[in-house]
Structure 1
Amino acid sequence: MTDRAVAPLLAGVTIVEISRGVAAGYAGRLLSTLGAETILVEPRDGNPLRHEPPMLPPTNEASALFAYLAAGKKSVACDFETPAGRAELSTLLAAAEIVIHDLRPEERIRLELDEEGLRARYPKLVDVSVLPFGAFGPKAGWQAEEINLIHASGEGFLLPNGLAAERFPDRPPLKVYGHFAEYQGGVVAALGALSALIGREHGGAESVDVSVQDAALAVGAFALQRLGDGSLEHRRTRSFKYGGVLECADGYVELLTLEERQWRGLVELMGRPDWMQDPALADSLERSRRGAEINRAIRAWALEQRTADVVAQAQTLGVPMAKYASPAEVLSGAHERARHLFQPVEIPGADRLPMLSAPFHVDGAAPTLKAGPPRLGEHQHLLTSRRRRDQPAVTAEVS
C-alpha cells in the first residue's frame, strides 16, 4: 500500500449510463471509480433505485443502495419518450466512449437505441447491454428480480449449506442477502466494457451483451464441473469435508484448509493434539474420508477460542481463517483502514458517511471517490456544454 498519487486509469473517458437495476448501475460505478466521467441519464422522476430501501437517516429520503451505486456519477434528467429527450440523449452519446444500459430489446428498438442504430450513428461508441438473461435468445425479453436470478444461476439451490444446513435442515433454499447475482453481472459488464474499449483501438467499436444469469453461473463453476462429472451438488452435501464456518466463544470464523501446508498449519494452531498425529491423517484422501470426525474435534476446540486471537494466530501460521465481522467492525478494522477502503462522502438527504471506494487497489493505491451520489438533474448543464463541443465549426466562404 502506498499513499502516492496515481492518475485515474480512465481519465478522459466518458460513459453514458441508462440504468434501472443494480447490474448496470454497478458496472457504471466501477468504471466511474476508475476515473471515467459517468453520466447517469435518469427519467424526470428519477432512477427507481433512488427509492429502494433501506433509506438513510436523518430524513429517510436517501437510498443507501442508490447512494453507493451512484457515488461519483453525474445526473442528467431526460424524457426518452419525447423527440426532445431523444435529441438530448443523442448529444450525450455523440461525446461518449461507452454506453451502459439495461434497456430491454423492444425498448431499444422503440427508442432508436438498438445495436444497429447505435453502430450507424455512433461508430466509435462501445455499447454494453446488461440484462437478466441477455439481449439475445428465447429469454431476451424476460424480466427478473434478484431472487429469480440467484435461483436461475443454481446458487439458490445450494443454500444454505455447511453449518447452517446442519443446524437448520428443514430450511427452504435461501437467497443470498442483497444483490449478489446482479453485482456479478455488473463486474462482467465493466470488464466487457474495458475489453471493448481496448479492442476499439485495433478493430473498431463493439457491442457487449451480458447475461446476469451467466455471470452468476460462473460463481458456481465447481458445481457445474461436478455436474459434468455426473455428480449433482446439493446444499446438504455442499460443504468442506472439514473446516468451513466455526463457532467460537465470541463469534464465528471461516476456516479453509485446501493445501497440505494449510493442514500442517492447522495442526500447529490447535497445539498438535494427539489425534492429529495419527500417521493416516498425513494422507489428504484419508482426511477427506474422516472429515466428519475431524470436524467434530475442530468445532469442539473452536468453541473455546476467541475470534481475534485465533484469527491472528492462524494467519501467522499460514492458515486461511477470517472472522465474520459486524458492519461496525468492518468500518473500524485495521485491514480496511490500512487499505483506505472507505472514504467519507456527502450524501444528499443524509449525513457525511464512510463509503467503500472499490474492492481493489490500482497500482498499490485505493481508487478515490470523486463525490457522493448526485442530486437528480444536478448536471443538466452537460447537455448544453456537450452540444457546444459537438457542433461543427462554421467557416464563412469568401467570395
Structure 2
Amino acid sequence: MSTTHSHDRSSLPLAGCHIVERSHSVAAAYAGRLLATLGATVVMLEPEEGSPLRQAAPLLDDETSALFSYLAAGKRSLVCDLETGDGQRILARELQQADILLDDTPVSERRALGLDHEQLSERFPSLVHVSVLPFGATGPKADWDGEEINLIHASGEGFLLPNGRSYELFPDRPPLKIYGHFAQYQGGCAAALSALSAWWAMSEFGGQYVDVSVQDAMLLCGAFALQRLGDGSLEHRATRSFRYGGVFEAKDGYVELLTLEDRQWNALVQLLGNPGWAQDEALKDPLERSRRGADINAHIRAWMAARNVDTIVGNAQKLGVPAAKYRTPREVVQGEHEFFRGLFSPCTLENGQEVQMVVAPYRFQRTPLKMAGVPSIGEHSGRVPSIEDSSHQVVVKEGLS
C-alpha cells in the first residue's frame, strides 16, 4: 500500500501548486522533487513500462532503483502515452489544471507529442512551461544529448579533476567526473528556481516558457572555465593556485581541510601547535602561502598522520578551522548533527520497505518539511483530484513571502 500522500501537506509552502512532470533525466526529475517536497502536487507522466529512471543504478537488493526512489518521493504517477489519443487527452486534462510543466522531451520530438511550447502557450496561456535539456532548447546544441560526464566536461569542471591529494597520488589518471549526478542536480536546482520565478510573476505576465540548460547551470556553479575571461588565470588540475589544504590521512580515517581566509590560517597554525616553520613572516601573505603549498601540506600531513580524526576535527571546530571528517554513509545517517536538523526522515519505497531518506537540501524553521512515499507506476491513474479554485496561487504567494 502506498503512503505517498498519507501526510497532511496543506501547511507546506507550495500547497495548492499543481505541477506536471515529464522526465527521463535526473535534472528534470530533481526539479520536480524539490517542488514536491515544498508541498506542490507533482504528477509524473510515465510510459506504460515506467520512467527509465526506475531502472537506474544504484539498485537495492530487489532491483529497486535507489536513485529513482529519491527523485520520485512525494510525487504521483500517471501512465500517459502521448503517441495515443488517450495519452493526449490525459495530457490536456492535466495541463488544464496545472501551474507548471517540467519537460525534458527532446526538441525534435515535442511538436509531434503536443509539447511544443508555442502550441502549449496558445492552449494554456497561464502555464509556466520549463524546458530542461543538457544544452538548452535553443542554439546550435539544442538537439544534442548529453550524459553526466559530458556535462561535467562541457562546463569546464572536468578540467580540474583529479586535483589536490588525488592528483598527487594519481597524476597519470585521465580527467574524471564527480561521483553521481552533480551537474544534473545543478540543472534541477536551476529549473526549480526558474519555475518558481516565472510562476510568481504569472499574475503580471501570464504564462512563460523557460529554457534551462544544464550546461549553463553547471558553468554558474563552478565558473572556473570562465575565470580566464576575468582575471586572465586558467585553473588546471595540476597547477591550481590555492595549493595547501585538501584531504589528509589521519591515524583512523581522512580529514578535509580548507582555509581561505587569514583568520582561518592563523587558527590552523594554533591548531598545529604554533610550529616554528609557520612563524615565517612571509607566510602572512596568502599568495606566498599558495606558492609554498606543497611544503605546507607536507607539514600538515605529518601532523595529521599522528592523530585521530575526531580529535583533529573537534579541536579544529573549536578554533574555527574549517575541517571535517570523511564519514561512512552509516555514520552520516546516524549523525547527531543530521538528527538535530531533521535531515533524514522515514520514507516508504514502492516495495514497501522503509528507509531513511534525505528530505531536502534546505530547512523551514516554522513549517517543517515532510517526507512522503514513492509511487508505483500509474498508481494514481484516474484518481488525481482536479484543482477548481483558481485563487490558490495568491495563498501560496503569501506563504512564500
* TM-score, L = length of structure 1: 0.91
Give, in angstroms, the shift of residue 95 of structure 1. 0.3
Tell me what 1:154 maps to.
156
Q: Please tell me the residue identity of whatever aligns with 1:68.
A: Y
Q: 1:103-123 CA distances to partner (integer Å, 9 max, x unpaired)?
A: 111211111211111111111
Give, in angstroms, the shift of residue 240 of structure 1. 2.9
Conserved 8 A contact 1:357-1:366: no
Give, in angstroms, the shift of residue 365 of structure 1. 5.9
* 2:21 is the counterpart of 1:20: no
Q: Please tell me the residue identity of whatever aligns with 1:378.
A: E
Deviates more, 1:240-249 or 1:274-283: 274-283
Alignment of 1:188-199 (within 5 A): 188-199=190-201
* 2:221 is the counterpart of 1:235: no
Give, in angstroms, the shift of residue 78 of structure 1. 0.9
Give, in angstroms, the shift of residue 139 of structure 1. 0.7
Tell me what 2:219 maps to.
217
Identity percentage over the alignment?
57
Tell me what 1:379 maps to.
380
CA distance in 2 between partners of 1:210 and 1:293 (Å): 44
CA distance in 1 between partners of 2:286 and 2:150 (Å): 38
**Residues 1:309 and 1:258: Cα distance change in structure 2 (over 3 Å):** same
CA distance in 2 between partners of 1:364 and 1:166 (Å): 47
CA distance in 2 between partners of 1:260 and 1:49 (Å): 46
Tell me what 2:11 maps to.
7
Deviates more, 1:280-289 or 1:65-74: 280-289
Tell me what 1:29 maps to.
33
Give, in angstroms, the shift of residue 230 of structure 1. 3.0
Tell me what 2:395 maps to.
none
CA RMSD of aligned residues (A): 1.8
Give, in angstroms, the shift of residue 102 of structure 1. 0.1
Deviates more, 1:265-274 or 1:356-365: 356-365
The equivalent position to 1:163 in structure 2, one of 153, 162, 165, is 165
Alignment of 1:212-361 (within 5 A): 212-238=214-240, 240-349=242-351, 351-361=353-363
Conserved 8 A contact 2:235-2:241: no
**Residues 1:239 and 1:53: Cα distance change in structure 2 (over 3 Å):** farther
The equivalent position to 2:51 in structure 1, one of 39, 47, 51, is 47
CA distance in 2 between partners of 1:223 and 1:152 (Å): 9
Q: 1:346-393 CA distances to partner (integer Å, 9 max, x unpaired)?
A: 112252100000111123665211x2210111101235x43x959xxx
Tell me what 1:395 maps to.
none
**Structure 2: which 5+ runs fail to align?**
1-8, 390-401
Alignment of 1:76-225 (within 5 A): 76-225=78-227
Tell me what 2:4 maps to.
none
Q: Matched residue pairs, number?
A: 381
Q: Please tell me the residue identity of whatever aligns with 1:24.
A: A
Residue 218 of structure 1: SS of its match in structure 2?
helix
Deviates more, 1:271-280 or 1:255-264: 271-280
Tell me what 1:56 maps to.
60
* TM-score, L = length of structure 2: 0.91
Q: Please tell me the residue identity of whatever aligns with 1:43.
A: P
Give, in angstroms, the shift of residue 30 of structure 1. 0.3
**Residues 1:222 and 1:124: Cα distance change in structure 2 (over 3 Å):** same
Residue 383 of structure 2: SS of its match in structure 1?
helix
